């Protein structure tokens, strides 16, 4: 064992919770996951994770948690729509009581931004944004070298920028939100919206439930016209959302993590073209649009560990 | 003469430049203005202002300038579309050479935000936004107690948030921008768009050039149906823009300055209703929407003076 410090990062999602032990350099030295669903309380989930970690041969310095609606200021998960624990869950207090270690909390997209800053491509950047593309769309903002929490700890909800007033109904109850167009659920809706124009598309063979961004990507690589249309449309809507973000915070870079961003140039080439078209002239070519420096399946763990590290070394 | 410190604030607009001497408490002790248009160079304008200031019996400590496209980082006015000085004007260097005083620059809406922080209603706030409503729409953001400049000094262009993709053509060359709906020019466009539905409106008697927010406000107070429709529509679009801002920076308050915000409850009552309708649930009732604590005709001077003061006392 070295003299390295080790941090436990826990990435809580609606169905699965990933966790791991990360050293000072951002190396993931142990990784595991458990299903979130069977745990009726956060206490039960945290005990499961902690019992596993105790068996490993690493001395944990502190613990970070990234979770939907995780509020850094309050240390509570507040009314997360995709978790079954309702109301406000005091996860920092509960985690500390069980583990006897300091526990920090932030939301999952903020954790990804902290990970990008400490272990990814944003080490030298003061102003950047990480957009996480999964079932929904999350975002974490660094402004002037500090994570943007706003007055109530909940800043950075770019997934709910209104793109089309009166547009697609969002799970938040509002209409026309960015995430209803560019997340996995949004892409599925786009396929369904355009499929009647492309009868010979391979995507028509899939039942609605089975459609996902990976299938669309594979079809696009085969030059399937529906898939190419879906990529073009998604890139255009994403560009509209990103230009709004740039108009407000003028970041040096926006990093895309997971979901359709894994399609690489299939997304980034049309996205760059639409960014050129939609950017305000003073912002043209000022903000880099890049894939994240982290891997989608471990970014949440690294980010949560980076949160723990940041709390104790800054 | 007291031992007070005095600051010169200069508020450069496309047609008129207002300036004044402000003491440490934000009291405007001298105020004047000059036409911007006759001056072929910034040097000429600045000399005119400085020659007038030198005649006053106040010892100036430092100078602040608020101007369209004023970049705090570079100290230059950069390609301002509504000024006839083209390219980049190194106003801080020129002003210092002429006056032998330190000169600071920011854009006009940022100046208003600094004024709100130092002399207005935001003294105790760390996260807030000022929206300036004039011919266009400007915005200045405080984030974590610091003015938001972003990576290039140009952050805070909320006037160019896209509200309707493919909507009204904006002077920036893009379509559907917020300012094309809620600024003075936007309100005129809204009147023209809806007037055919309201043949008996008093607003129909005015030629297009004469229409302005004040006439619409006066008509609304007489319960003119077209004017009421215009206020309702404007409030709805503004609410869509403000919810996007709140989703990103989660401010404690958004202050509205000038333009249609001078209409008071005629705007704020429908605006509050639409904010309720369009706000993301986690942000409902979290952000105050208030009239600015400064007066539209002096806010720019006070803000520029506050910039000068901030540079030398913080």
User: What's the pLDDT band for A79 if we cut at 50, 70, 90?
Assistant: confident
Rounded Cα–Cα distance for residues A116 and A122 (Å): 5
Our CA-based measurement puts residue A210 at a distance from the nearest CA of chain B, in whole angstroms, of 30
Closest CA–CA distance from residue A57 to any residue of chain B (Å):
40
Averaged pLDDT score across all residues of chain B = 94
Q: How far apart are CA A183 and CA A173, in angstroms?
A: 16
User: What element of type H or E holds B214?
Assistant: helix B213-221
B162 touches chain A (CB under 8 A): yes
Residue B35 pairs in a beta bridge with B16
- pLDDT 10s digits, A114-126: 999 999 999 999 9
* Interface touch B282/A154, C-beta < 8 Å: yes
Which one of A249, A252, A254 makes the best mutation probe of the B interface by having the most chain B beta carbons within 10 Å? Answer: A249
The C-alpha atoms of residue A218 and residue A229 are separated, in whole angstroms, by: 13
Q: What's the rounded mean pLDDT across residues A284-307? A: 94
Q: What is the pLDDT of residue B1?
A: 47
Res B82: pLDDT: 82
A 222-261 residues with CB below 8 A of B?
Answer: 240, 243-245, 247-252
CB-nearest partner of B162 from A153, A240, A252:
A240
Residue A311 binned pLDDT confidence (cut-offs 50, 70, 90): low
Query: Do residue A160 and residue B250 have CB atoms under 8 angstroms apart?
Result: no
pLDDT at A220 over 50: yes
**How many contacts, defined by CB atoms under 8 Å, are there between A and B?**
133
Instruction: Give the neighbor-by-neighbor strand order of the sheet with B6-12.
Output: B28-35, B16-23, B6-12, B60-67, B103-107
Residues B66, A295: Cα–Cα separation, whole Å: 44
- Out of A143, A161, A287, the one facing B143 most closely (by C-beta) is A143
Residue B28: the pLDDT is 96
Tokens of A202: 């391979």
pLDDT average, residue stretch B208-233: 95
- Taking an 8 Å cut-off on Cβ atoms, the answer to whether A150 and B251 are in contact is yes
Burial class (CB in 10 A: 0-12, 13-18, 19+), B209: exposed
Within 10 angstroms of residue A272's Cβ, the number of other Cβ atoms is 15
* pLDDT greater than 60 at residue A287: yes
User: What is the mean predicted confidence (pLDDT) over B259-265?
Assistant: 92
Tell me the pLDDT tens digit for each residue of B187-213: 999 999 999 999 999 999 999 889 999
B310 or A21, higher pLDDT = A21
Nearest CB to A165; choose among B152, B157, B240: B240
Mean predicted confidence (pLDDT) in A230-249: 98
- State the residue for tokens 């973000």: A245
Task: Check whether B313 has a pLDDT greater than 50.
Answer: no
Q: Across the interface, which of A151, A158, A280 has its CB nearest the CB of B248? A: A158
- When mean pLDDT is compared across A100-104, A227-231, B176-180, B293-297, the lowest value belongs to B293-297
Q: What is the pLDDT of residues B106-156, one digit of tens each?
A: 999 999 999 999 999 999 999 999 999 988 899 999 999 999 999 999 999
Q: Inform me whether the pLDDT recorded for B239 exceeds 50.
A: yes
Confidence of residue B79 (pLDDT cuts 50, 70, 90): confident
Task: Show the DSSP H helices in A140-224 as ranges.
Answer: 179-182, 184-194, 213-221
Decide if A161 and B249 are in contact by the 8 Å CB cutoff: no
The C-alpha angle A170, B237, B227, rounded to 5 degrees, equals 140
pLDDT score at A2: 53
Q: Least CA distance to A277: which residue of chain B? A: B174
Please check whether residue B127 touches A, CB under 8 A: yes
Examine the pLDDT at A312 and tell me if it is beyond 60: no
Residue A29, Cβ neighbours under 10 Å: how many? Answer: 13
Tell whether the model's pLDDT for residue A85 goes beyond 80.
yes
B152 to chain A, any CB pair closer than 8 A? The answer is yes
Query: Rounded CA gap, B65 and B18, in Å?
Result: 10
Interchain pair A146, B149: CB under 8 A: no
pLDDT band, residue B14 (cuts 50/70/90): confident
**Shortest CB distance from B155 goes to which of A162, A250, A281?**
A250
Q: How far is CA A180 from the centre of its chain?
A: 15
**Residue of B149, B160, B241 to mutate when probing chain A, most A C-beta within 10 A:** B160
Q: For chain A, what is the mean pLDDT?
A: 94
Residues of chain A contacting B240 with CB distance shorter than 8 Å: 162, 165
With an 8 Å Cβ cutoff, are A282 and B240 in contact? no
Mapped onto helix, strand or coil, the DSSP state of residue A194 is helix
- What is the length of chain B? 314
Rounded distance between C-alpha atoms, residue A241 and residue A248, angstroms: 11
Contact B150 A127 (CB under 8 A): yes
How crowded is the C-beta side of B18, counted as CA atoms within 13 Å? Answer: 17
Each residue's pLDDT tens digit, A26-42: 999 999 999 999 999 99
Best mutation target, A252, A282, A284, to test chain B (most B CBs within 10 A): A282
Residue A48: exposure state from Cβ atoms within 10 A (0-12, 13-18, ≥19): middle
Cβ–Cβ below 8 Å for B161 and A240: no
Asked if A150 and B282 come within 8 Å (Cβ–Cβ), the reply is no
CB of A205 less than 8 A from some CB of B: no
State how far Cα A210 lies from the chain centre: 22
Task: DSSP letter for A281, please.
Answer: G
Q: In what order do the strands lie in the sheet containing A253-257?
A: A146-147, A137-143, A128-133, A253-257, A288-291
Within 8 A of B281 by CB-CB distance, chain A residues are 172-173
B130 chain-A contacts, CB cut-off 8 A: none
Residues of A in contact with B125 (CB under 8 A): 151
Cα–Cα distance for residue pair A186/B159, rounded to 1 Å: 27
Instruction: Show the CA angle centred on residue A227, arms to residues A298 and A173, nearest 5°.
Output: 65
Contact with chain B for residue A78, Cβ under 8 A: yes
Q: Do A151 and B69 touch (CB under 8 A)?
A: no
Interface touch B154/A250, C-beta < 8 Å:
yes
Q: Which of B165, B282, B287 sits opposite A163 (nearest CB)?
A: B165
| Tokens found for residue B30 | 């001298």
Non-local CB neighbours of A313 within 8 Å, separated by 6+ positions: none
**Burial status of residue A139 (CB atoms within 10 A of its CB: 0-12, 13-18, 19 or more):** buried
Q: Which residue has the tokens 């309100």?
A: B187
Mean pLDDT within A44-73: 96
Residue A82 has pLDDT above 90, yes or no: no
Report yes or no: B174 and A273 within 8 Å, Cβ to Cβ: no
Chain B partners of A163 at a C-beta cutoff of 8 Å? 162, 165
Distance from CA of B157 to the nearest CA of A (A): 5
Instruction: Give the pLDDT score at B310.
Output: 82
Whether the pTM exceeds 0.90: the reply is: yes
Q: Is the dihedral of CA A311, A29, A66, A247 positive or negative?
A: positive
Tell me the backbone φ, ψ of residue A271, rounded to 5 degrees: -60, -45
CA distance to partner chain A, nearest, from residue B250 (Å): 5
Percent of chain A with pLDDT strictly greater than 90: 87
Q: How confident is the model at residue A314 (pLDDT cuts 50, 70, 90)?
A: very low
């Amino acid at each position: 064992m070295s003299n390295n410090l080790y941090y436990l990062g826990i990435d809580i999602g609606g169905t699965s919770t990933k966790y791991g032990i990360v050293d000072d350099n951002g190396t993931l030295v142990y990784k595991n996951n458990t299903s979130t669903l069977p745990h009726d309380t956060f206490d039960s989930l945290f005990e499961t994770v902690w019992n596993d970690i105790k068996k490993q041969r690493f001395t944990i310095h502190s613990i970070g948690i990234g979770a939907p609606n995780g509020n850094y200021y309050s240390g509570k998960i507040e009314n997360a729509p995709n978790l079954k624990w309702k109301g406000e869950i005091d996860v920092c207090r509960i985690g500390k009581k069980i583990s006897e270690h300091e526990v920090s909390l932030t939301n999952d997209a903020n954790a990804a931004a902290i990970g990008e800053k400490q272990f990814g491509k944003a080490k030298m950047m003061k102003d950047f944004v990480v957009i996480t593309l999964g079932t929904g769309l999350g975002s974490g903002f660094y402004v002037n070298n500090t994570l943007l929490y706003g007055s109530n700890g909940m800043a950075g909800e770019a997934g709910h920028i209104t793109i089309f007033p009166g547009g697609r109904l969002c799970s938040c109850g509002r209409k026309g939100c960015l995430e209803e167009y560019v997340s996995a659920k949004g892409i599925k809706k786009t396929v369904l919206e355009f499929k009647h124009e492309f009868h010979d598309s391979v995507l028509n063979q899939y039942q609605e439930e089975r459609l996902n961004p990976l299938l669309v990507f594979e079809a696009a690589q085969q030059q399937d016209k529906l898939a190419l249309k879906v990529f073009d449309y998604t890139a255009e809507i994403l560009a509209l959302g990103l230009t709004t973000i740039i108009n407000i915070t003028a970041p040096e870079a926006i990093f895309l993590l997971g979901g359709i961003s894994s399609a690489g140039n299939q997304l980034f080439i049309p996205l760059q073209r639409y960014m050129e078209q939609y950017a305000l002239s003073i912002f043209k070519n000022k903000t880099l649009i890049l894939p994240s420096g982290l891997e989608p399946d471990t970014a949440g763990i690294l980010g949560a560990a980076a949160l723990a590290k940041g709390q104790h070394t800054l």
